Structure 1
């Protein structure tokens, strides 16, 4: 009986081929694991820590421009206290936003945006939220305007460097108001005071223009895109530093 043996070169070539195939499979497995872990970590960060939104309107100019992207600290207000001057993102309390038509986008674009939203690089629901500057905390007495056109909080006039006014105007609000912020609510205003549908213009809506604290998604802290606009978002403690605390309203 004759035993047939393979040449050593053929055995070596087959072994190298199997090794390469195994190495390629291990590489693909490692890439897949890294991708899944990165996706999971990004999802957890987006859900509990930081979220990205884009700016759809001019209501916060010149602080924020249309189509700017911002990062929002979602630990506010559950773990980090809200402060006057914070730029906050919140869900519509009801009636602040008109109907938003569904965008006509290709299915592949919709799918890509959904994946990016999972990891916090896109915010498909930005149109359902608003962004304004927090002016009044619960119990605060907010009034506008005095003889110099300033707004006051708890009888302290504010000098607001972030406000954009129309040429020839000095009052920081087109309409006067005198409000006391209820418990668990906020009074918010856009920096572009003559082009912002904020608390002043929603007094006839549910909540009388006040934003429930429970509606706050978080505090915007940085402009992340475009690169030319990158910068930290200030809450101007020097503007509000002398405002005394107020007793919660009843």
Structure 2
């Protein structure tokens, strides 16, 4: 019996891959990775579009971020705050009440019809504003409701306070040191409209500044975009916007509360 070690020849088919084969495999792997990266970018872009569209729809119908552009509502709302506007607050037959802080379109009451702008620019800015990433349109304002349709709003009484339907209003939300108004007025708010004023009265252009114009400074209820219910940004100021009891003793022209 032959016990000598046998030297078996290796089958050429089992020989190590050549440099050419390695290069081909590397090209295939690179192509596969590139394809996967392409798919990842496509998915990321698609997800981004979907999220943005969902946020815009949510902003259009439910809650819209709104960037506070001025100090007219200090101290409650400060420049740079991003508030959340509840668009459902007046959607089901409920109307703004005295003391509510509202965002509204002032076209026709506070400002003239704006000039036409580039549609693409307008859409881009509108989308950014709807997400709270840009200042609102020049036609959008945030103010506090002082009088509703039928109310008689007078300033000022013997104590220097605003009166609504003969009742003095204790406006503790006013900016420290501000008078309720430096200009006297006596107005009966037309039905279906609102008399609105800023909390920082000495730094607010509001219904008082439009008394001599069509509409007399009153804002149509249909122009109200929603009620400011929360401060959403910066995080250190995240809070629900506190209501006010300043109008608790005020009754309507018919003597009813509300």
Same fold, judged at TM 0.5 (above): yes
Superposed displacement of residue 46, structure 1: 1.9
Corresponding residue for residue 224 of structure 1: 232
Query: Distance between the aligned counterparts of 1:118 and 1:234, measured in 2?
Result: 24
Q: Secondary structure at 2:201's aligned position in 1?
A: coil
Flag the structure with larger Rg: 2
Query: Distance between the aligned counterparts of 1:91 and 1:118, measured in 2?
Result: 14
2:188 is equivalent to residue 177 of structure 1 = no
Superposed displacement of residue 211, structure 1: 0.7
Corresponding residue for residue 154 of structure 1: 165
TM-score between both structures, scaled by the size of structure 2: 0.74
**1:141-184: CA deviation from partner (whole Å, max 9, x where unpaired):** 222222222222233322111012537xxx52222322221111
Which among 125, 141, 156 is matched to residue 130 of structure 1?
A: 141
Q: How many residues align?
A: 232
1:56–1:20 CA distance, 2 compared to 1 (3 A): closer
2:253 is equivalent to residue 240 of structure 1 = no
1:93–1:114 CA distance, 2 compared to 1 (3 A): closer
Query: Distance between the aligned counterparts of 2:171 and 2:56, measured in 1?
Result: 37
8 A Cα contact 2:129 2:137, kept in partner:
no
Superposed displacement of residue 30, structure 1: 2.4
- Return structure 1 stretches of 4+ with deviation > 4 angstroms: 4-19, 97-101
Query: Distance between the aligned counterparts of 1:118 and 1:58, measured in 2?
Result: 18
Higher relative contact order (CA 8 A, sep 6+): 1
Which among 96, 103, 123 is matched to residue 89 of structure 1?
A: 103
Query: Distance between the aligned counterparts of 2:45 and 2:91, measured in 1?
Result: 35
**1:123-152: CA deviation from partner (whole Å, max 9, x where unpaired):** 454322221100111122222222222222
Q: Secondary structure at 1:187's aligned position in 2?
A: strand
1:221–1:127 CA distance, 2 compared to 1 (3 A): same
- Unpaired runs of at least 5, structure 2: 1-12, 116-120
Across the aligned residues of Structure 1 and Structure 2, the Cα RMSD in angstroms comes to 3.5
TM-score between both structures, scaled by the size of structure 1: 0.76
Query: Distance between the aligned counterparts of 2:101 and 2:87, measured in 1?
Result: 12
2:72 is equivalent to residue 59 of structure 1 = yes
